Amino acid sequence: MVAARVNGVLRDLSHPVAESDIVEPVLASSDDGLAIIRHSCAHVLAQAVQDAFTEAHLGIGPPIKDGFYYDFQVARPFQPDDLALIETKMKAIIKSDQVFVRRVVADDEASIELKDEPFKLELIGLKGSAVDSAADAGVEVGAGELTIYDNVTRDGNLVWKDLCRGPHVPSTRYIPAFKLMRSAAAYWRGSEKNPQLQRIYGTAWDSKQLLAEYLEFLAEAERRDHRRIGKDLELFHLDPTAPGMPYWLPKGMRLLNNLLAFWRDEHEARGYEEISSPLINNKKLWETSGHWEHFREDMFILESDGENTFAVKPMNCPNAMVVYNLKTRSYRDLPLRLSDCDPLHRSERSGTLHGLLRVQRFQQDDAHIFVRPEQIADEYERIFDICERFYSIFGLGYRFRLGTRPEKFIGDVATWDEAEATLRRILDARTGGDYEQEEGGGAFYGPKIDILMSDVLGRSWQMGTIQLDVQLPRRFGCVYVDENGARQTPVVIHRVIYGSMERFLGIYIEHTGGAFPLWISPVQVIAIPVAQEHAGYADQVAAALRAAGVKVEVDARNETLGNRVRMAQQQKVPMMLVLGAREAEDGTVSVRRRGERTLTSLALDDFVAQVAQAVADRVDLPAFAS
């Protein structure tokens, strides 16, 4: 036990309790327990840094998912040798079993004690006003009393202190296992207008075994990093001249186009009609939609002739409303399913960009479905069926999460409540109540259902989303004529399945490690002639495969056969053909499937037919019939 929950509030174990109090133990292995261990470890980190770098000023040091960080103002960035020194000092502090002692202080007292810490003084001045208790800075001050935690040795000497709300573990020996991970630059309180500090990240766990398992997990995640694999497989390029806007290289374009072809085939079969709309629109469109008020900070704004202001579209929704309004719609026309994959742009702070997972330019597999209210439930079932088709073909498990009305929204509360109740009924019917809920997680125009995927490493990712919207069709004056001749406003279902193509591919690259299923692979077969005199037959085989729609390459480089085989393995090509004199004479191919060591001999025509059929059927490597 590392702390206690007293009447629902997390407290130090030293906190006094009354006989009437409800006290619950907080175990080290619990989520709260781990957060407290990590927060305390952040204090140990800060103490060690100020011991090693006496000029260092303290920022903040909160617990975060799987770890902690602390920000420092220092003369130079931290180096790997610095982290090793700091870690050694931290181990000594933990071994010395220093006690965490909580003190309540007045604002002026805290200011005097921390007079040499400018960032702490700023937080003291902000107490109860601009500091969100749920934000990282909230670990220092909130709306209540100010507290300082002293680190006291076993013989009673005060050796270090920090402004903090707590709680903390009783003493440093309650930190069983930790590791410093890396350092990076970070702006004070996340604003580029503030000083740049140096941040040290670490992780801490309630046992050495769990720490070792976590470090192995990170190592595997590093091996699967889509940025490294994307470079190795020549899929995409990220250039500093276009932050967060990927270049798709030839193999990456094949991969992307395979995703789009599957998307188009599945949607056309289900009655969707694809549209495309302008990438740049006058701000009047965004004012009508509400984006100008609620999403403007995330948009790229363009000035035209001084009178007109334009914006690059961050979403396709308003354009779909324009298309709907091009002609009079009858109730018989609904559901009307409009899909599009136009590029979108959203302005992100540079520090938040991350490979394909967080970008500024992306393609979203959008659809906007205009329905009558009584059609909502059936249409959601159709969308759920699409989700099942898409995620199952990629071997992805998924679950649902309901996002409710956010703090900033358009429309009235009653309409929102009705829409949320509708989605709850639909989810209850689909899942039997087995779904998550995120309060305030809806879009500004309506509640939504997010689709969460778990990858091979057990990480959870948001993929698609399904949003129920009664606001935008009203704002754009969308109507249909009902069976009685009256004009009614349709409900719009916004939905994406992949999410963004870039994000989906980033996640999927890491999920597969770059070993894509046959049908989606940018190179499906590689033909390797044993020697130069067999290159002509390799070209003949490649031509037959290309004619059948199979993506094939020939590796006839002046390298040893072993080197070329290893290269094909490193490129994770699903099928490798080794072609020598016997194959050329017999009109056969010797096939080695990815992950296998044995060769299978097949007649060329049979091989081409079987592989082409597998690609057309969008299935993985075929079990060859010889």
Q: What's the CA gap between 318 and 393, in Å, rounded?
A: 31
The catalytically annotated residue of 165, 226, 494, 511 is 494
Does residue 317 have an active-site annotation? yes
Q: Are 551 and 524 in contact (CB under 8 A)?
A: yes
pLDDT for the residue 351:
73
The catalytically annotated residue of 39, 179, 224, 448 is 448
| Confidence check: pLDDT of 506 > 90 | yes
Contacts 24+ apart (CB under 8 A), 45-49: 45/70, 45/86, 45/90, 45/180, 45/200, 45/202, 46/70, 46/72, 46/160, 46/162, 47/93, 47/151, 47/159, 47/160, 48/86, 48/87, 48/89, 48/90, 48/93, 49/74, 49/86, 49/200
Q: Which is more confidently placed, 214 or 470? A: 214
pLDDT for the residue 622:
73
List alpha helices for 353-457, DSSP H.
376-393, 413-431
Phi–psi pair at 487, nearest 5 degrees: -90, 125
H helix or E strand, kind and range, residue 91: helix 80-95
Match domain 233-512 to its CATH number in 3.30.70.1230, 3.30.930.10, 3.40.50.920, 2.40.10.340: 3.30.930.10
List alpha helices for 224-296, DSSP H.
226-232, 250-269, 283-289, 291-294
Mean pLDDT, range 269-279, rounded to an integer: 97
Using omega within 30 degrees of 0 as the cis cutoff, is the peptide bond preceding 373 cis? no
Residue 79, both tokens: 């180096």
pLDDT for the residue 139:
58
Residue 280, both tokens: 């740049």
Which amino acid is it at 458? G
Instruction: Dump pLDDT digits (tens) for 394-446.
Output: 988 889 999 998 888 888 888 888 888 988 988 998 889 898 988 898 888 78
Decide yes or no: CATH 3.30.980.10 for domain 27-129+139-222.
yes
Class of the 518-617 domain?
Answer: alpha beta
Residue 591 CB contacts under 8 Å (≥ 6 apart), including other chains? 575, 576, 577, 599, 600, 601, 602, 607, 624
Q: What is the mean pLDDT of the chain?
A: 92
Using omega within 30 degrees of 0 as the cis cutoff, is the peptide bond preceding 447 cis? no
Phi–psi pair at 5, nearest 5 degrees: -105, 110
Residue 458, both tokens: 């057990």
Q: Is there a common fold for 27-129+139-222 and 518-617?
A: no
Whether 368 has a binding-site annotation, put simply, is yes
Q: Are 45 and 18 in contact (CB under 8 A)?
A: no
pLDDT for the residue 531:
94
- What are the CA-CA distances from residue 599 to residues 121, 577, 590 (Å)? 71, 9, 6
Q: Are 457 and 220 in contact (CB under 8 A)?
A: yes
pLDDT for the residue 494:
94
Question: Structure pTM?
Answer: 0.83
The catalytically annotated residue of 39, 179, 346, 405 is 346
Please measure the distance between the N-terminal and C-terminal CA atoms of the chain and give it in whole angstroms: 64
Instruction: Dump pLDDT digits (tens) for 463-504.
Output: 889 988 888 999 999 999 999 999 999 999 999 999 899 999
Residue 292 CB contacts under 8 Å (≥ 6 apart), including other chains? 283, 286, 311
Which amino acid is it at 352? T
Percent of the chain with pLDDT over 70: 97
Percent of the chain with pLDDT over 90: 80
| Confidence check: pLDDT of 598 > 50 | yes
Q: Which residue has the tokens 């976590």?
A: 214
Q: What's the CA gap between 480 and 478, in Å, rounded?
A: 7
> Using alpha carbons only, what angle is made at residue 328 by residues 325 and 330, rounded to the nearest 5 degrees?
120
Does residue 15 have an active-site annotation? no
Does residue 511 have an active-site annotation? no
Instruction: Dump pLDDT digits (tens) for 24-60.
Output: 999 999 999 999 999 999 999 999 999 999 999 999 9
Does residue 551 have an active-site annotation? no
Does residue 494 have an active-site annotation? yes
| Confidence check: pLDDT of 141 > 80 | no
Q: Which residue has the tokens 């997972």?
A: 357
| Confidence check: pLDDT of 127 > 80 | no
Write down how long the chain is: 626
Domain coordinates of the chain in residue numbers?
27-129+139-222, 233-512, 518-617
pLDDT for the residue 191:
86
Q: What is the DSSP string of 282-346?
A: EHHHHHHHTHHHHTGGGSEEEE-SSS-EEEE-S-SHHHHHHHHTTS--BGGG-SEEEEE--EEE-
Model confidence band, residue 625 (pLDDT cutoffs 50, 70, 90): low
The catalytically annotated residue of 226, 254, 368, 405 is 368
Mean pLDDT, range 321-341, rounded to an integer: 97
Q: Which residue has the tokens 């000083």?
A: 195
Whether 478 has a binding-site annotation, put simply, is no
pLDDT for the residue 410:
80
pLDDT for the residue 135:
55
Report which DSSP code applies to 137: G
Q: What's the CA gap between 172 and 41, in Å, rounded?
A: 8
Residue 77 CB contacts under 8 Å (≥ 6 apart), including other chains? 183, 185, 198
Instruction: Dump pLDDT digits (tens) for 531-589.
Output: 999 999 999 999 999 999 999 999 999 999 999 999 999 999 999 999 999 999 999 99
Mean pLDDT, range 176-184, rounded to an integer: 97
| Confidence check: pLDDT of 134 > 50 | no
Question: Measuring CA to CA, which residue among 340, 397, 339 is closest to residue 369?
Answer: 339
Whether 354 has a binding-site annotation, put simply, is no
Residue 606 CB contacts under 8 Å (≥ 6 apart), including other chains? 625, 626
